[in-house]
Structure formats: C-alpha cells, structure tokens
Amino acid sequence: MKKDKISLGLLAIAGFLVASYFMVSACREYPVQYSVYGRISSLLMLLNIIVMIAWLAFDQIGLWVFICLSSLLTLFVAIVTNTVFLNYQIPLFFAVGFFVTIFKNSMVSYGLSVDRKVDALEEEHNALKAQYSNMQGTNDALKEKVIRYAALKELTARLSSSLSLDGVINIVIDNVSELVEKSDLSILFLVEEEAQELALKAVRGKAGPASIKSKKGDVFDLWVLKQRQPLLVSDTDKDFRFNLELIPEEFKRQYKSLIAAPLISNKKVIGIMRIESKEPEAYMSDDLRLLTIISDLAAIAVENAKLYHRIEELAIRDGLTGLYCHRYFKERLAEDIIKVTRIKQPLSLLMLDIDDFKGYNDKYGHIAGDIVLKVIGDSLQSSVELGDLAARYGGEEFVLILFGKGKAEAQRFAEVIRKKVEANKFILRQVETHVTASIGCATFPEDTNSGEELIRLADGALYEAKKQGRNRVCLA
C-alpha cells in the first residue's frame, strides 16, 4: 500500500510539471490560436485528474496543495492569454476539492458509523459467545448431574433390594468407586457398637478388592468420627490441621488428597466412607457433596440390614438362652442331613435334659430356674464348633447337631458337656447349688436315614439315661 502511494505521488508531481510546462509553452504562442485553447483545455482536464491522483497519494493536504497550484497556474495562463473563460476553471478546482472533502468526510463518518456498528456487533458476538460458553458449561454440568442422579437412583434401588449387611457393604463400596472419579482407594469403616471404635469392612482399589493395614482408621477417620462432619483434604502435606506423625509408620499409605463422610443414623455415627488419591488437589466440594449423599444412603441401608438381622435372630433364637429355637433346629437338621449325605459324612444328634428341673424350680423359684437355663445355654453355645448348632428344644430340653461327627466322637463330646453342666455353681439364697443333665445320642446314617427318626432315637436314648439314674450319656 505504501509503495502504491509513492508511485501515485511521483505520478502526480510529474504530471503537474508536464502540464505546467505545456501550458506555459502554449502561452508563448501569442496571440493565442484556437488550437492552443483546445490544448490548454485538455491540459486543464489533465490537471483535474492529477488533483485526484494527488489526493490518493498525499491525502487531503496533497489535494488542496495541488488545487492551489493548479489554480495559480490557471490564473497565470488566463492573465497571460487574456482568456476570461479560463478563470472559470479555478472555481471548478475548488468545487472538486470541496466535493472530495465532503465525500471523504461523509465516507469517514459512514466508515466510523460502520466501524461502530461492527464493534457493537463484534461486542455482541463476543457476549453471545461467552453466554454460549457459559450455557455449554452449565449444560455439561447438568448432564453430569443427571448421570450422577441416575447412578444414585440405581444405587438406591440396589440398596433397597438387599437386606444382608455384607451385601449392602459390597454394593456401597463398588458403587462409590465408580461414582466418585479419581479414586485410587475407597474404604468403608463401620463402628463396632460394643467397643465404639472403627472397624474396617471393605476396601476397593482401581483394579478391584484391596487391603490396608490400618483396620481402625487413622487421624483423618478419627477426626470425622469425633466431629461428625465431612472432611476434604486437598494436600496432606499442607493441611496443618492434622499431624501425620501420629500415623504409625507401618500404617502409612501413599496418598496426597482425600474426602471422607460419616454414616449417621439416629444422630449417631455408625461408619465412615473414605476415598483417597495419590494426586494432590484431586477432589472438589462437589465430590465431597456426592460422597455425603452416598454415605447417607449407605447409613440407611446399613441400619436396615442390621435391623433385619436382629428381627431374623429374634425369629430363630430363644429369648432367654440365646440359642436357636425349635423351628429353626428342625429346618437346619433337614439341611444338614442333605449336606452330609452328599459329602458322605456322619452327623450326630445330642438331646439333653436337666435332671429334676421341676423340683429345682419348686424349691428355688422360676427366676432361679431361668438363671440355670441361661447359664447352660451359654455353656452349650461356647462348646459347639463351627458348623455345629445348639438349640433349645423346649422347657429344660436342649439339642445339639454335631456336623461330621460319628457316634464315638459324639459320645466323647457329650461327656464333656455333661461334666460342664455338673461343674456349674449356682449361689441361691446364699446356698451353693448344682444341677445335672442326662444326654441321649443318635447318629446318622449309622442309626437311621431319617431326620425325624434320628430325633426319636436320640429322645429314646435320653429316656434310657433318665431310667438308668440320670446324669449320664446313653447311645441309641
């Protein structure tokens, strides 16, 4: 553009000089001939063109400089040639100047107006673009929330369908790892009711189940347990609320940020849900808010599972002794007989009756009798092994299922139970008392292939023990 203006400027100067030369040369031919007027008129038209070129080359200042020079030149020629009509060319030059100036100003004004409109449109465009960007961000956030709420709805449905505590724990730990991103480790603690301390229940890593050495939590978990509030730690190295030196060296893990939320039910903390990452600044307040919602859902599900377990226990356990009831014993016996038949193992049944229990009740009262029943129930419960079962059959009678034990082993076990019952001391009315028990034993499939027959045979053996003088073990 600059080179073009230089070329136009040189052209305007050269053209003006050439036109001036020819016009002055024409003035020498005096008296002026008609042909000379024609040449001068042509040169004046050329000057108009040169003026326009000067405007393009030198802008408005150049325009008026060339107009003035052309006017002076024209005035000089008019005086020399005594040609009046040439003077009319001078107003024409100025008219061209004024026209160009007005045109340019109007164009400048129009251009400014256009520029202002363009700026306004550009500003409006930028505002709309920013608004669109914000709306897009809001839309993305809403989409993410909808996805999260859908996942929470599915989690609620899954938790509602499970009444097993282990099932609830697995559902919660699996879903929290998926719902909260950037989780290297997800941990669930529940509060032990008796000890009132945290107990580790589940751990999940990115690849699946994991393990940690800290089974009762660290300073962060204890803070949540005490404060009953959610916790967000952006960088464990920079958070001066906690002293990491309080964590034993063998319990330390490689994590830099974490979020944790309490599981609260009936205004009590019943557990803690925790998620941690190896990267600092991994979590935001939205993540903590989501974890809190999951923890609230988990708290309800855990309490429901515990309540269902208590109801289930009340339905199948005797209220006084804590042993299983008669109905559950019958169901379990049928199941165990099927199992031992499949694996070709024996099963023995012991039936125990407290000797002269009616006379004991009449002498010391029913409260004393209840104490005896409870103590014997506790003794039986502590004696049975894993897979065995102790139940209250009715009144002062008890039964024991010995899974996988033959007649000889069952007889030895029965003798141990009999001696335990005999060794118990009961201080009533400042008097030391004792009770004894008679036990009958029958074995499947050695004695019978029927569960009902097994009970009848064990009961018959018990009757034989009573008949022989009580406080003894008899076999079917």
In the chain, where are the structural domains located?
1-161, 163-311, 326-475
State the fold for domain 326-475: Alpha-Beta Plaits (3.30.70)
Residue 190 banded pLDDT, cuts 50, 70, 90: very high
Rounded Cα distance between 55 and 294, Å, is 78
Q: Kind and range of the H or E element at 329?
A: helix 326-343
Over residues 305-330, mean pLDDT? 86
Asked whether the beta carbons of 262 and 271 are under 8 A apart, the reply is: yes
Query: At residue 34, does pLDDT exceed 50?
Result: no
Percent of the chain with pLDDT over 70: 74
Q: Which residue has the higher pLDDT, 156 or 42?
A: 156
Query: At residue 242, does pLDDT exceed 90?
Result: no
CATH superfamily of 163-311: GAF domain (3.30.450.40)
Least confident residue range of 93-97, 157-161, 295-299: 93-97
Query: At residue 5, does pLDDT exceed 70?
Result: no
Rounded Cα distance between 373 and 358, Å, is 12
> Catalytic site residues?
396
| pLDDT at res. 452 | 92
Residue 358, CA atoms < 13 Å, CB-side half-sphere: 0
pLDDT in tens, 358-404: 888 888 888 888 999 999 999 999 999 988 999 999 889 999 999 99
pLDDT in tens, 412-444: 999 999 999 999 888 877 778 889 999 999 999
Least confident residue range of 30-34, 99-103, 145-149: 30-34
Query: At residue 77, does pLDDT exceed 80?
Result: no
Query: At residue 38, does pLDDT exceed 60?
Result: no
Query: At residue 30, does pLDDT exceed 60?
Result: no
Least confident residue range of 25-34, 242-251, 256-265, 348-357: 25-34
Query: At residue 73, does pLDDT exceed 50?
Result: yes
Nearest to 255 by CA among 289, 209, 205: 205
Helix axes 165-179, 285-316, angle to 10 degrees: 170
Nearest to 476 by CA among 440, 439, 437: 440
Task: For residue 352, count other CB atoms closer than 10 A to its CB.
Answer: 26
CA dihedral 332, 335, 336, 339 (to 10 degrees): -160
| pLDDT at res. 241 | 85
Rounded Cα distance between 273 and 296, Å, is 10
For the record, the structure tokens of 401 come out as 């299922």
Least confident residue range of 103-112, 231-240, 401-410: 103-112
Over residues 211-221, mean pLDDT? 86
For the record, the structure tokens of 35 come out as 């042909």
Mean confidence (pLDDT) of the chain:
82
Rounded Cα distance between 183 and 275, Å, is 6
Asked whether the beta carbons of 242 and 260 are under 8 A apart, the reply is: no
Side chain identity, residue 106: S
Residue 15 banded pLDDT, cuts 50, 70, 90: low
For the record, the structure tokens of 16 come out as 């003006």
| pLDDT at res. 108 | 47
Distance from chain centroid for Cα 198: 23
| pLDDT at res. 117 | 76
3-state secondary structure 148-202: HHHHHHHHHHHHHCCCCHHHHHHHHHHHHHHHCCCCCEEEEEEEECCCCEEEEEE
Rounded Cα distance between 151 and 138, Å, is 20
Query: At residue 169, does pLDDT exceed 80?
Result: yes
Asked whether the beta carbons of 209 and 203 are under 8 A apart, the reply is: yes
| pLDDT at res. 37 | 52
| pLDDT at res. 23 | 65
| pLDDT at res. 109 | 53
Asked whether the beta carbons of 434 and 424 are under 8 A apart, the reply is: yes
Residue in this structure with the two tokens 């022989």, named with its chain if needed:
468
Q: What is the pTM of this model?
A: 0.56
Rounded Cα distance between 392 and 373, Å, is 9
Distance from chain centroid for Cα 332: 43
Rounded Cα distance between 242 and 237, Å, is 9
Q: Which residue has the higher pLDDT, 9 or 182?
A: 182
